[in-house]
Structure 1
Amino acid sequence: MDAGDRERRRVTRARERSSSRTGAGSTVLRALSVGNLDDNDTMEDERLKNDLLERKVVAPRYSLVREIGRGSYGVVYEAIARRSGALVAVKKLRCDAPENVELALAEFWALASLEKRHENVVHLEECVLQRSGMAQKMSHGNKRSRQYLRLVETSLKGERVLSSPQEPCYLWFVMEFCEGGDLNQFILSRRPDPHTNASFMLQLSSAVAFLHQNNIVHRDLKPDNILISERSGTPVLKVADFGLSKVCAGLGMASGCRASDETEDNKNKNNINKFWLSSACGSDFYMAPEVWEGHYTAKADIFALGIIIWAMIERITFIDAESKRELLGTYVRQGADIVPVGEALLENPKMVLSIPQRRRSQMSDALRKLLQDMLAVNPQDRPDALELHSRMGQVTCAA
């Protein structure tokens, strides 16, 4: 062992001791080595080799440092890659209940389907399935893995087929680490900065355009799900949390996506806005009117982005009833109540939104018009993601 290895191990042990004091423990995520199969092997040989891979465990690859977030179905940790010493984020999802498996697989399928990286979309390093002290690296659509197929079966059947309550199963998502927190924390802890606002608007529109070009509807865009990386010296946004996302390419009538036309041209990746979705999901304050009705397209992401940008520019916030946190988000006042914009527009489609909301706002006319278009009641009146990114570039350059 050379001096570099000794130093890395010393740092890792120190981090593990520190994490045990903060309550996260020194849990270690193990992963399987992935062997190559000879093309000439028979199917029986391949099955036997895959069985061996599912049982073979190699040295620990990541050490958990501390817990940095907790949601309804998972926990997120800061972790260290033992080989490189790099910090990563590790999301641990318990895959016992079918609804948890469905959310985990949705996130895995969305991130694993991306053939290219985008600066403003969180990057998935790898996904590992852990059960009975063993672990297996997951690959999208791996029909040779019994564990993967059981996960899919659990999601489709809506009943547990992978493990018993006494034998918990987990999916671990290893992703890039974002040390700047989420968009709420970043914006509300700093003084207003027009330059940062313009940069963030352009980054957000770029991320959504990339996702829609890759046939992914996020369906839960909100400041909580937009993370900040500051490694480059300037803040870089990362759209994250794809648990409610839907990959619509080539799905036709299956899996909750339905093409509005029967022509082949409307089924390619450039026509994601031709796919209709029916699951009313997301977070109330960012949901488009049509989502409340359960009949919508990718244009719902454009509406959510309009709410986020409007709130960010004018620093409009509300107190979340459940978490008691101050969150960025616009709304409509109805007496003593505040109502999500989408819900208010659904009840009164002729309502005119007061953009800007604040009297002394310095919002430009071009941005006001763009926000009005993004928040149009009729989704057909909203720009698609590519048009939005182009117009956002013009707005930010003019500013």
Structure 2
Amino acid sequence: MRKVSGGVRVCRRSVAGKMKREVGKVLRSLTVEDNNHKEPMEEEEDDHCFSIGYLRNDRLEPSLVVSPRYNLLREVGRGSYGVVYEAIARKTGARVAVKRLQCDAPENVELALAEFWALTSLENRHQNVVQLEECVLQRKGLAQKMSHGNKKSRQYLRLVETSLKGERILGYPEEPCYLWFVMEFCEGGDLNQYILSRRPDPQTNRSFMRQLTSAVAFLHKNNIVHRDLKPDNILISQKSGSPVLKVADFGLSKVCAGLNTKNCEDHPIAGEDGKGSNQNNIVNINKFWLSSACGSDFYMAPEVWEGHYTAKADIFALGIIIWAMIERITFIDAESKRELLGTYIRQGTEIVPVGEALLENPKMVLHIPQRARSSMSEGVKKLLHDMLAVNPQDRPDAFQLEVRMDQVTCAA
């Protein structure tokens, strides 16, 4: 395997550098308010909002960790603009994931709000989409619970203004502003870790294929284009005994509800009232045109590289993931040194993302499966060819895909 970088391409602005680790600090919440009612939330007597209980180099003084709402146990993930912790909710004892995003730059705020809008615009839950429990804005020792589309909240509107104007409005280096996302915890890691640490299992593959297509159909039905589907952003929950996939990380997602079908990105705060129209969305979600090159190279559709695409780009990314999962096609990421699931095209000594290769040569024929002794059925092979069609109009939409995936996995 060749070492390559599966670098992330972020919409409009580049992501800021990695955040500095803050050790030995307890993040205090002097008052926690619900920004709908303007009344203090029910709190413990000493009302710290979050506390760090896991550190590599330093230890916390016991007196600093009194009655937190969530105890942060350990760091489980770190990206270019946020840190994810495993945590315990003090009142219920439930294990949760807490993502901390520092709002120190407009691009960070934009990514945080994209995730916030996507997850809070969902009126119903889906077992294969990660569940957001709450979002808290912390600044100047004040923690305020954020609610979707609340135009009466000055803090919420200032975050939106920061994102739109591209200027720092909230927080200063000596007085940082944070958004905390409290979500369900997935103890099984991500799809890379789960698949590559186990022996091949066709039954698990079929189950995961159905779960993934069900999740994407649900998102598209709710007018959400994920735009960064990849194994890193697919988590595994094992609470029920059998593995359940959870599509996560909506920082590059786009909510396209109630917008003109010509260009979704003309309206960067789409659906913020949480009441986006669902009428005819089964048809119209694939008519919303997006223009920002988003995602990670190895999963990007040809049209995304050109910057003119629709929700069908999610179908292409799903095809890359499923193909790589079935045949265990991997590459080594140059930055993280991790082995990642991802399909590619060999060009001499180089490997090139499938979408980029198809953009350069639209007549190129994909060899699915790659391995001569593959157990891939004819039905799955034909479906993958259709999902990875160079012309997005030749791909099934998410709802057609869900029906066809049920058919080919039941027949296998």
Q: How many residues align?
A: 357
Match of 2:237 among 229, 238, 255: 229
Q: Which stretches in structure 2 are left out of the alignment for 5+ residues? A: 1-21, 49-67, 268-276
Contact 2:35/2:144, CA 8 A, preserved across alignment: no
Q: Which string of whole-angstrom CA distances, capped at 9 and with x for unpartnered residues, describes residues 160-219 of structure 1? A: 112222211000000000000000000000000000000000000000000000000000
CA distance in 2, matches of 1:368, 1:361: 10
What's the counterpart of residue 293 of structure 2?
Answer: 280
Match of 1:324 among 333, 337, 341: 337
Contact 1:95/1:171, CA 8 A, preserved across alignment: yes
Contact 1:249/1:267, CA 8 A, preserved across alignment: no
CA distance in 1, matches of 2:143, 2:362: 52
TM-score of the two chains, using structure 2 as the length reference: 0.83
Q: Which one-letter code corresponds to 2:191 in the other structure?
A: L
Q: Which string of whole-angstrom CA distances, capped at 9 and with x for unpartnered residues, describes residues 110-155 of structure 1? A: 0000000000000000000000111000011111111111100000
CA distance in 2, matches of 1:381, 1:313: 23
CA distance in 2, matches of 1:36, 1:369: 51
Contact 1:106/1:246, CA 8 A, preserved across alignment: yes
What's the counterpart of residue 92 of structure 1?
Answer: 100
CA distance in 1, matches of 2:122, 2:263: 20
CA distance in 2, matches of 1:257, 1:117: 28
Matches within 5 A, 1:249-328: 249-252=257-260, 256=265, 268-270=280-282, 271-328=284-341
CA distance in 2, matches of 1:324, 1:303: 25
CA distance in 2, matches of 1:108, 1:199: 29
CA distance in 1, matches of 2:411, 2:292: 39
Local SS of the residue matching 1:156? helix
Q: Which one-letter code corresponds to 1:167 in the other structure?
A: E
Please identify, of 142-151 and 173-182, the stretch whose mean Cα deviation from structure 2 is larger.
142-151
CA change 1:24–1:161 in 2 (3 A) is: closer
CA distance in 1, matches of 2:398, 2:266: 19
Please identify, of 156-165 and 362-371, the stretch whose mean Cα deviation from structure 2 is larger.
156-165
CA change 1:94–1:123 in 2 (3 A) is: same
Cα offset for 1:34?
Answer: 2.9
Q: Which stretches in structure 1 are left out of the alignment for 5+ residues? A: 1-22, 38-48, 259-264
Local SS of the residue matching 2:169? coil
Contact 1:257/1:275, CA 8 A, preserved across alignment: no
Local SS of the residue matching 1:387? helix
CA change 1:29–1:178 in 2 (3 A) is: farther
Q: Deviation above 6 Å: which 4+ runs of structure 1?
A: none
CA change 1:65–1:24 in 2 (3 A) is: farther
CA distance in 2, matches of 1:322, 1:313: 25
Taking only the aligned residue pairs, the percentage that are identical comes to: 79
Local SS of the residue matching 2:170? coil
What's the counterpart of residue 119 of structure 1?
Answer: 127
CA distance in 2, matches of 1:257, 1:345: 28
Match of 2:204 among 190, 196, 204: 196
What's the counterpart of residue 368 of structure 1?
Answer: 381
CA distance in 1, matches of 2:360, 2:47: 58
Q: Which one-letter code corresponds to 1:272 in the other structure?
A: I
Between Structure 1 and Structure 2, which shows a larger proportion of helix residues?
1
Greater Rg by CA: 1
Q: Which one-letter code corresponds to 2:395 in the other structure?
A: R
Match of 2:256 among 232, 248, 263: 248
CA distance in 2, matches of 1:278, 1:214: 20
1:341 paired to 2:349: no
What's the counterpart of residue 184 of structure 2?
Answer: 176
CA change 1:76–1:323 in 2 (3 A) is: same
TM-score of the two chains, using structure 1 as the length reference: 0.86
Tell which has more relative contact order, 1 or 2 (C-alpha 8 A, sep 6+): 2
1:397 paired to 2:406: no
